[in-house]
Amino acid sequence: MEFNESPLFLQMNPFEMVTSKNLPITVYESIIDIIEGQAHTLFIKSQYKIETGEAERIAVDHVAHTTLGEGGEGSSQETPVDHDILRQIAGLCNRMPTIDSTDFKQEFLTEYNDVLLTTYLATITKGTNSINETSSTLRIVPTDLEDEAVTNSIKAFLISEPIIIY
């Protein structure tokens, strides 16, 4: 075989009865058989066993035994009222006016300024790092430059005290 020496063939039967305990699938495994002196690949029915863990069985049982509860009609597309969810929604709606309070605005402004300050400090740190890398690169200055003033100013910059930001 070009891709796999021992392929499996999985066949699903959509017309099999839903009430059956087994899944509506058939698994075939390949064998190579010699027919009339030539090798042919044949698929024979294979036995299989599906093994599941406890969590999978619980999930399947939960889905299989789910009912709509009282007051619900599946055929009329009506769903029962869930009072717990309605209470949670009402609680969220009741919290909404607190967002307009002055305490919230002050706290929000403080947090916003903290984020801006952190971003600003990160930018300064990144710039300082770039200056440090550039100065490390420029420390090797050729001594035979034509313009001694440029050489002296570069050397003065490199010898000067480092910039420390607090």
Least reliable range by pLDDT among 12-21, 58-67, 150-159 = 150-159
Examine the pLDDT at 159 and tell me if it is beyond 90. no
Output b/e per residue, 46-78; b: 16+ Cβ within 10 A: eeeeeeeeeeeeeeeeeeeeeeeeeeeeeeeee
Q: What CA–CA distance (Å, rounded) separates 113 from 107?
A: 10
More reliable by pLDDT, 104 or 75: 104
Instruction: Kindly tell me the number of DSSP H helices and DSSP E strands found in the chain.
Output: 4, 3
Which tokens sit at 105? 């605005």
Q: What CA–CA distance (Å, rounded) separates 150 from 142?
A: 11
Q: What CA–CA distance (Å, rounded) separates 19 from 21?
A: 6
Helices (H), the chain: 54-64, 83-95, 102-138, 148-159
What pLDDT was estimated at residue 144?
Answer: 54
Task: Measure CA 118 to chain center.
Answer: 27
What pLDDT was estimated at residue 141?
Answer: 54
Rg (CA), the chain: 38
What pLDDT was estimated at residue 22?
Answer: 75
Q: pLDDT of 109-143, one tens digit each?
A: 999 999 999 999 999 999 998 888 887 776 655 55
Q: pLDDT of 44-103, one tens digit each?
A: 999 888 777 788 777 777 777 765 454 445 556 677 888 888 888 888 877 776 667 788
* Kind of pairing between the strands at 25-35 and 8-12: antiparallel
Examine the pLDDT at 28 and tell me if it is beyond 70. yes
pLDDT band at 41 (very low <50, low <70, confident <90, very high): confident
